Structures are given as C-alpha cells and as structure tokens.
Amino acid sequence: MEINSKTKISVLLATYPFLKEFLISLNPNFSALDNPIMRNTLGRMATLSQVALVGGIDLSGLLTKISDEIKGKTGESVIARSDVPTSENRQEILKGIIKDLHRGVNINILKQKFLELIKDISPSEIANLEQKLIEEGMPEQEVKKLCSLHVEVFRESLEKKTLPGLPSGHPVHTLMLENRFAEGIIQEIEELKDNNKLQVLIERISAIEMHYLRKENQLFPILEAKGISGPSKVMWALHDDIRAMMKDVKEKVRAGSVKELEIKTLVHMIKDMIYKEEHILYPMALETLTDEDWMRVKRGEEEIGYAWLESVEQWEPSIGVGRQVVSIDKIGSLNLDTGQMTPEQVNLVLTHLPVDISFVNENDEVVYYSQTKDRIFPRSPGIIGRKVQNCHPPKSVDMVEKILDAFKKGEKDSAEFWIQMKGQFIHIRYFAVRDNYGRYKGTLEVSQDITDLRSLSGQKRLLDWD
C-alpha cells in the first residue's frame, strides 16, 4: 500500500483500525477520531495533508510515523510518499514569494504560484513567516510595507478559511463584534451625502482606538509569551499608522479642509486591518492559545474598555481554567491583581518611582514610606507604627485630622497642596485608599518635585540623551 498527502483518513482507519489510538496518542488534536460521528463525517473527506495541518505537524514526519506503526504492528511495508512540500520547505517557498513581491514581480504571477504550490497554508504559517523574516534581519518597517501586498497574494486561500463558532464574551468574539460595528460606521461614511455629519462619524469611528489598545495590551503579550512576536510588531506599527491618519483626518474635518482621498485612505486602512485580524491574527491566535491563555487575555479588558460596546458578557472556559497559575520561578511572589512580583521587586519599584510616598493605615498608623534616593521630606524607621498626627507639627494637625475625617466618611477621595521650598516647586497629594467594597483602608501621601515639569512645553518625540 502507498500513503501520501491525498490518502483519506477513513480509508486508512478502515484498513488499519489500530491507527486510531496511535494517532490520538501522537497528537491531542486528533482526539476527535474517538468520536464516531466525526469519523463518519469529516473522516470520510479529510486527507492526511489536512490531518497534518490540524495537528500542526510536518506531513512528511506524519507519513513516516504511520508507515513505521503499520510495519511494527503487521509487518507490512508501506510506501510513504510526501508529494507536497514539508513545513520547512513551504516556509522557504513563502519567503521566496514575499521577496519576489518586494522585488516587484507581477502580483498575478505570484498569486498563481502561491495557489499552485501551497494549497493548505494555515494562518500560523503566515504568522511564522513574518516572525522568521524579522528574525533573519529584515527590518520591521519592510515587513510592514509588505503586509498589505502579501495579504493580496494570500487572499484567495485565506478567504476559504473560517473561524470556528465562538461563545459570546470570548475575547475574539468581542473583537469581531467590534469589527461589525466599525464596518457599519464605515458604510455610513462611504454612503454619506451630507458632509455636515462627517465630523460625527469620524468621531465615532475613532473609538476603534479601544479595540487596538486591547489587542496591544491583552492579546499581543500572551502571543509574545508563546514566542510569536513578529505579527504583533507589524500589526502594532500599522495601528500607529491608522492613529496618525485618524488624527490628521479629524483635525482637517474640524477645519473643513479634508479631502475625499484622505477619507478614503483612512477607511481603506481600517478595513484592511479588519481583514488582517479576521483572516490571519484571530485564526492564528485560536490555533495557538489555550483556554487558560484566553482567560488571561480576558482579564483586564474592562479596565481598558471597549469600542462602541457598553458591556460584554462574561465568559468562562471549561472547569479548572482561569485559576491564576504561578510558575516555579514565581513561587514566593506576591499575587497582585495584574501579575506577580517578588517582595524585592516591589521594594525596588517603589524606591525607583519619581515620587515620595508614605502610607497610613485605617488606624492612622504610619506603616510604610519609600526610601527614595533624594527624599523631599526626610523620614526615618522610627516613624513606623507611630500615629500620623504625631508626625506633624502642632499647627498642621488640624488639617491632617480634617483630611482623614473626610476620607473616612467618604466625603472626599483626594486633597492636594503645593509649596515652594529651597528653589523647588513641590506638589503634595493625599489619596483615600479603599478596597473593592469601598471600605476605607488608609491614606496615601505622594510628594513630587515638579520644578522641571512646569517648564516643559511643545513636544519631545525622540530620545535625546546628549
């Protein structure tokens, strides 16, 4: 018998039933073979090429392992013929197409070459391609320039791929829902007859900033932890291009000087980003991330906010997922709301802040102060445990009491003062610290020398250490 990329999995299992357990043990993604309904439906159509794609493994290696298993169980020699490029070869072919595209080879020739040679490319391979190009030294700006062009090359293949059904509240479901809102606003812009409404629509579409911020701060870090940083770097750069174009268009719309081409350019950039998200980023992320990873993406979304959505349904994956996992190197760390830090790290961060802080607990006792390099107001360990009223001169005690009383009653949440001292302009702020139930837990004092800050003007967008 000969097996190759076109061999149907149903035929293989009918001939060698023991391969079902072997394949499941080989890759957890093949566990669907245990389901008789899946075997009798998808199994009748799925080829070994498609099976390798689902498992994210090299086809040539899969054919060899199946051949070896058959020979080991039956003694029968099976010819394994890999008639399609391996994953490594395919990556090289893809890189060649991108580089040809960069050299100006006709896009139709490259599209045909792509469709003929690479029929089962996955979104992950496109992401890996960008990653590899960057790792091999191609500047990110070059990859960014190629991004729109290579999407055109890949478009026909990608459009055949669909995302699986996602539950409401899943981060990708939310992102895609926002894309539908964006498309609705874009359609209004494209069909606009009355330019008086243009400013309103541009302001509405600018809310897509929250969409990009969630990708950058919630999704990209998780992908980077999996070793996938190239696509996020490229996409972040494209976000910035859209932001710059959005700012320019908004200013010109307000001034009444915007050109039709500028509006069309902005709309095209946003639509192109939607396409890249839904045909490359999301499928690749869904292939790569676990439910636990998606729970980490989900955490913090509300803090950033949503574009056009007032609220989003809660989403919980299977039981046991969502617990905070602490890796071995984090044992002994403090589990904070948004990560883990060791006590040493916490202390270093607090002492490196460009402000002096002191904390008084709910009993008016001083329990902490940051020992920064150049404290504005001297502190010593002797004040720890002391009543804060006793740490101020008699003439200031009434003011201290007034602030603490207002904080405890919930009448105020902050107080601020500023003074000039030894040629410095000192800004002093007090903040009521409350828990998630609104209960008063203490007062935080923050002091900062803002002498230099007050003299700033204009912008400084480039690093200058001279």
CA distance 417 to 444: 14
Domain termination residue (choose one: 158, 180, 196): 158
Indicate the pTM of the whole model: 0.50
Q: What single-letter DSSP state applies at residue 342?
A: -
CA distance 285 to 293: 10
User: Cβ of 170: how many Cβ atoms within 10 Å?
Assistant: 20
CATH number of the domain within which 257 lies: 1.20.120.520
Say what the pLDDT of residue 94 is.
67
Q: State mean pLDDT over 204-208.
A: 95
Tell whether 205 and 274 lie within a shared domain.
Answer: yes
Say what the pLDDT of residue 45 is.
58
The predicted-structure confidence for 38-62, as pLDDT tens digits, reads as follows: 555 445 556 776 677 556 666 777 8
Residues 6 or more apart whose CB falls under 8 angstroms from that of 80 comprise 2, 3, 4, 63, 64, 66, 67
Tell whether 293 and 402 lie within a shared domain.
Answer: no
Assess if residue 233 is contained within a domain.
Answer: yes
Tell whether 73 and 99 lie within a shared domain.
Answer: no
Assess if residue 333 is contained within a domain.
Answer: no
pLDDT score of 90 more than 50? yes
CATH number of the domain within which 34 lies: 1.10.3910.10
Average pLDDT, the chain: 80
φ/ψ bin of 320: left (φ > 0), alpha (ψ from -120 to 50), beta (otherwise): left
CATH number of the domain within which 404 lies: 3.30.450.20
pLDDT score of 68 more than 80? yes
Residue with more model confidence, 117 or 249? 249
The predicted-structure confidence for 154-189, as pLDDT tens digits, reads as follows: 555 555 544 555 778 899 989 988 998 998 899 899
Tell whether 37 and 112 lie within a shared domain.
Answer: no
Domain termination residue (choose one: 158, 190, 215): 158
pLDDT score of 349 more than 70? yes
CA distance 163 to 239: 23
Beta-strand pair 79-81/2-4: parallel
Assess if residue 358 is contained within a domain.
Answer: yes
Residue with more model confidence, 327 or 413? 413
pLDDT score of 301 more than 80? yes
Residue with more model confidence, 49 or 450? 450
Assess if residue 11 is contained within a domain.
Answer: yes
Assess if residue 166 is contained within a domain.
Answer: no
Say what the pLDDT of residue 152 is.
60
Helices in 76-118 by DSSP H: which ranges?
87-103, 107-117
Assess if residue 263 is contained within a domain.
Answer: yes
φ/ψ bin of 308: left (φ > 0), alpha (ψ from -120 to 50), beta (otherwise): left
Assess if residue 276 is contained within a domain.
Answer: yes
Q: State mean pLDDT over 110-127.
A: 60
Residue with more model confidence, 460 or 142? 460
CA distance 33 to 296: 30
Say what the pLDDT of residue 130 is.
67
Assess if residue 56 is contained within a domain.
Answer: yes
pLDDT > 70 in the chain, percent: 77
Tell whether 274 and 192 lie within a shared domain.
Answer: yes
**H/E stretch holding 193:** none
User: Cβ of 425: how many Cβ atoms within 10 Å?
Assistant: 16
As a whole number of Å, the end-to-end CA separation of the chain is: 73
CA distance 106 to 124: 26
Tell whether 39 and 116 lie within a shared domain.
Answer: no
pLDDT score of 127 more than 70? no
Local confidence band at 79 (pLDDT 50, 70, 90 cut-offs) = confident
How many domains, the chain? Answer: 4
Contact predicate 95/130, CB 8 Å: no
What is the extent of the structural domain holding 6? Answer: 2-81
Q: State mean pLDDT over 94-110.
A: 74
Tell whether 266 and 195 lie within a shared domain.
Answer: yes
Tell whether 357 and 402 lie within a shared domain.
Answer: yes
Domain termination residue (choose one: 115, 130, 158): 158
Contact predicate 7/45, CB 8 Å: no
Say what the pLDDT of residue 313 is.
85
The predicted-structure confidence for 451-461, as pLDDT tens digits, reads as follows: 999 989 888 87
Tell whether 106 and 192 lie within a shared domain.
Answer: no
Helix (H, G, I), strand (E, B) or coil at 132: helix
Q: State mean pLDDT over 129-141.
A: 71
Tell whether 351 and 400 lie within a shared domain.
Answer: yes
Tell whether 439 and 422 lie within a shared domain.
Answer: yes
Say what the pLDDT of residue 324 is.
42
The predicted-structure confidence for 350-397, as pLDDT tens digits, reads as follows: 999 999 999 999 999 999 999 888 888 877 777 888 888 887 777 888
Tell whether 133 and 112 lie within a shared domain.
Answer: yes
The predicted-structure confidence for 226-255, as pLDDT tens digits, reads as follows: 887 777 878 888 899 999 999 999 999 999
Choose the weakest-confidence range: 135-139, 424-428, 450-454. 135-139
pLDDT score of 9 more than 60? yes
What token pair was written down for 399?
Answer: 């003011």
pLDDT score of 325 more than 50? no
pLDDT score of 322 more than 70? no
CA distance 102 to 142: 9
Choose the weakest-confidence range: 88-102, 117-131, 299-313. 117-131
pLDDT score of 270 more than 50? yes
Beta-strand pair 339-341/366-369: unpaired
